[in-house]
Amino acid sequence: MNRLILQFTADLHLKSYSENSIQNHRLDLLRFKEWLEPREMADLDGLRRITTEEMVQYQAHLSHRLKPRSVNRHLSSLKLYFRFMEVSGLISANPMDRVIYPKFWTDLPAMLTPGEVGALLEAPDESHYLGLRDRAMLELLYSSGLKLNELTALNADSVQLNLRFVKLMGKRERMVPITDRAGLLLGRYMETARLARLLHPQEPCLFPGRNGTRISRIGVWKLIKKHALQAGIDKNFNARTLRHAFAIHLILGGMDLDAIKFLFGYQELEATALYAHVNSPDFRRAYRAYHPLAASQNSPIA
């Protein structure tokens, strides 16, 4: 199994995982190997015999020693490892696919209801250029589940309004859908407010701050708190709350976790799989069906 772990970590290196993440996965697998050795299953033949029931037993073993969040991380490492083996043709099925992860509700962030999200999105005054900018940013955060640093990194050419997608750059370039309402607000903002606020006309940033250059993450967070206060929201939420609301509202609407993982750009998804999903009409229809603000009779997404 040691050789397989080395192959797995080498594959993670090729996929640009961080050193810290790779080390955590390796340590999780070494702990799993220790559990397998007394059962004489710590070789390839043994791994091929592992069933979902045995993985549930291992989950119970971990649960006696670790907190639910740590158990989830171990299970995620194992799912990723077995997926690597499945893709490599070493096993025929992933025994982790039907394992249910433990819940840890006390660790979940403050949750905004759809009504509270709606009040927050309506709070900026669109008659002022800053209000229109803020409304476009808030709509985009909730429309697509962006992180604040992803939002602030957007350039004007990152937006494809006709396709209702934004392109996100990073270790892995990806495209995520936006709602029609967010698209209309972005179009209006870019046409009437953005250029007048730039310090230099050639500045590429989509959202400039008061000084005419790219707005900072802290700047976005401050305006979110300001508009939340205006909307009468007194929950102690953080900068990721709209991102969590986006995911939870979609899940409650019926979207599966694999689709959420795609929208969030999690590293275990292959880049080619990301673009295959983006180009899938079924995926686009699912997004429009499940997102509370995505429905529109005039959408270009069929």
Task: Determine, yes or no, domain membership for 150.
Answer: yes
13 and 146 co-located in one domain: no
Structure tokens at 68: 């639910």
User: How many independent structural domains does the chain possess?
Assistant: 2
* Range 102-126 average pLDDT: 74
198 and 285 co-located in one domain: yes
Going by C-alpha positions, the residue among 228, 198, 219 that lies closest to residue 151 is 219
127 and 148 co-located in one domain: yes
Bigger pLDDT: 73 vs 83:
83
pLDDT tier for residue 256 given thresholds of 50, 70 and 90: low
Task: Determine, yes or no, domain membership for 143.
Answer: yes
101 and 121 co-located in one domain: no
E strand spans, 149-201: 159-160, 165-168, 174-177
Q: What percent of the chain has pLDDT over 90?
A: 28
Structure tokens at 100: 């249910």
Residue 253: the pLDDT is: 60
155 and 75 co-located in one domain: no
CB contact set of 143 (below 8 Å; sequence gap of 6+): 177, 178, 179, 181, 182, 246, 291, 293, 294
144 and 265 co-located in one domain: yes
Residue showing tokens 């370039």? 173
Q: Which domain holds residue 24?
A: 2-107
Is 262's pLDDT higher than 70? Answer: no
125 and 90 co-located in one domain: no
Strand pairing class (165-168; 159-160): antiparallel
Beta-carbon count within 10 A of 252 CB: 11
4-13, 61-70, 244-253 — most confident range = 4-13
Bigger pLDDT: 299 vs 171:
171
CB contact set of 34 (below 8 Å; sequence gap of 6+): none
pTM attached to this predicted model: 0.53
Residue 286: the pLDDT is: 56
> CATH number of the domain that 37 lies in?
1.10.150.130
101 and 151 co-located in one domain: no
Q: Where among 79, 107, 135 does a domain terminate?
A: 107
Three-class SS state of 50: coil
Task: Determine, yes or no, domain membership for 300.
Answer: no
Give the Cα separation of 21 and 215 in Å (integer): 30
209 and 272 co-located in one domain: yes
Query: How many CA atoms lie within 13 Å of 105's alpha carbon, on the beta-carbon side?
Result: 0
Residue 297: the pLDDT is: 39
Give, as one character, the DSSP assignment of residue 211: T
277 and 163 co-located in one domain: yes
Q: Where among 66, 92, 107 does a domain terminate?
A: 107
- Residue 29 is which amino acid? L
pLDDT digits 0-9 by tens, 127-152: 888 899 999 999 888 888 788 888 99
pLDDT tier for residue 10 given thresholds of 50, 70 and 90: very high
